[in-house]
């Protein structure tokens, strides 16, 4: 059954875009026109695995990840300003939405990897390097890297996979100064994240962040890419989207870390184990949508999201 995920209609807001698990709206002004200075970022309870949006949603997932991201923005405020303006949002999405400053987004998915797995491991096995950065021989699935590697990608259209790009590709897209700034910030965000998370029994293997510019002041019809390349370096780089959540990062339980095999996911392992078990009757290579998750898998997954939030923030999830 395809997950029914029609984003809610929100009076006073226009729905702009839906990703797998989040929805974007524009607040409307008194005349009913879109405000150009704000956006509403809504996290749904949807969960995706093996490139499918699963059914049913995980209760409170959107709220837990929104509150976790807000907490991380505060923890990282000395590294970078962020785009959050307010949590005064419509009742229908209370707790799982944020009003944000509308920025001129950089066309780069900024990924940093502290541990080798997934696509980075595949590239390493093929080339001995990741995103143009040579790595020592003998690394295995889950190996911790001496220092995080910046492995950027392009922003693919909905439903397509982001394409890895080289650091030089980032320079060509946004200019050398901004490229260096976002690479350094992405690595520092992952290092800070792991300083905090490791103490609480969670390893952040990698993370994806997005940045926007404050102060670009695009003229009507002006090409954003050209403007970014020509005067982006004099703008303020602002941390946008979500930060260091289980949807933007690989969360691993630290006590189960064992290089040389795929690491268990802190939040998605119950889902993966059930979907790949004979009980589900599904195969991830089948090309068909997975079956609905059993209630016990849904509840166990909800509990893992809540546990991640409470471990990291030290605050009970209300």
Ligand X SMILES: N#Cc1c(N)ncnc1-c1cnn(CCN2CCOCC2)c1
Q: Which is nearer to ligand X, 81 or 132 (CB)?
A: 81
Q: In b/e form, how buried is each residue of 91-104, taking b as 16+ CB within 10 angstroms?
A: eebebbbbbbbbbb
Interaction residues for ligand X, span 218-247 (CB under 6 A): 240-241
Q: Which is nearer to ligand X, 79 or 254 (CB)?
A: 79
Q: Which is nearer to ligand X, 156 or 198 (CB)?
A: 156
> Binding of ligand X at residue 100 (CB under 6 A)?
yes
Quickly count: other Cβ atoms within 10 Å of residue 48's Cβ.
15
Strands (E) located in the chain: 13-18, 22-27, 38-43, 48-49, 52-53, 84-86, 97-101, 104-105, 110-115, 129-130, 133-134, 144-150, 202-209, 211-214, 236-239, 249-253
Shortest distance, CB of residue 208 to ligand X, whole angstroms?
Answer: 10
Interaction residues for ligand X, span 13-42 (CB under 6 A): 17, 19, 22, 24, 39, 41
Given candidates 212, 246, 253, 290, which one binds ligand X under the rule CB under 6 A? 212
Looking at 96-104, 194-202, 276-284, 286-294, which segment touches ligand X (CB under 6 A)? Answer: 96-104
What are the helix (H) ranges across 42-175? 61-75, 118-127, 167-174
How many residues sit close enough to ligand X to count as binding (CB under 6 A)?
16
> Binding of ligand X at residue 80 (CB under 6 A)?
no
Q: Which is nearer to ligand X, 224 or 300 (CB)?
A: 224
The residues pairing with 213 across neighbouring beta strands, listed in sequence order, are 104, 237
Q: Which is nearer to ligand X, 41 or 53 (CB)?
A: 41
Q: Measure the CA–CA gap between 255 and 201, rounded to whole angstroms.
A: 7
Shortest distance, CB of residue 124 to ligand X, whole angstroms?
Answer: 28
**C-alpha gyration radius of the chain:** 20
DSSP class of 214: E
Binding residues for ligand X, rule: CB under 6 A, are 17, 19, 22, 24, 39, 41, 83, 100-103, 105, 210, 212, 240-241
């Amino acid at each position: 059954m395809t997950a029914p995920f029609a984003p809610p209609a929100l009076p006073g807001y226009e729905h702009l875009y839906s990703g797998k698990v989040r929805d974007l709206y524009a607040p409307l002004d008194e005349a009913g026109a879109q405000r150009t200075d704000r956006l509403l970022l809504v996290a749904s309870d949807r969960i995706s695995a093996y490139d499918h949006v699963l059914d049913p949603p995980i209760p409170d997932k959107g709220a837990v990840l929104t509150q976790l991201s807000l907490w991380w923005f505060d923890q990282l405020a000395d590294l970078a300003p962020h785009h959050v303006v307010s949590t005064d949002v419509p009742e229908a999405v209370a707790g799982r939405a944020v009003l944000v400053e509308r920025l001129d987004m950089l066309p780069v998915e900024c990924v940093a990897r502290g541990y080798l797995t997934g696509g980075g491991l595949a590239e390493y096995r093929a080339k001995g390097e990741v995103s143009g950065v040579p790595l020592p021989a003998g690394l295995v699935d889950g190996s911790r890297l001496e220092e995080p590697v910046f492995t950027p990608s392009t922003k693919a259209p909905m439903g397509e996979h982001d394409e890895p790009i080289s650091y030089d590709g980032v320079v060509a897209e946004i200019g050398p100064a901004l490229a260096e700034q976002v690479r350094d910030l992405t690595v520092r965000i992952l290092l800070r994240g792991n300083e905090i998370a490791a103490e609480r029994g969670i390893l952040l293997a990698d993370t994806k962040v997005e940045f926007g510019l404050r102060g670009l002041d695009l003229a009507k019809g002006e090409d954003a890419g050209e403007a970014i390349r020509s005067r982006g370096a004099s703008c303020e780089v602002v941390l946008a989207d979500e930060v260091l959540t289980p949807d933007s990062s690989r969360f691993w339980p630290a006590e189960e870390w064992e290089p040389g095999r795929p690491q268990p996911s802190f939040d998605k392992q119950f889902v993966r184990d059930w979907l790949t078990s004979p009980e589900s009757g599904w195969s991830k290579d089948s090309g068909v949508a997975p079956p609905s998750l059993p209630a016990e898998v849904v509840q166990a997954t909800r509990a893992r999201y809540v546990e991640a939030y409470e471990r990291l923030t030290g605050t009970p999830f209300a």
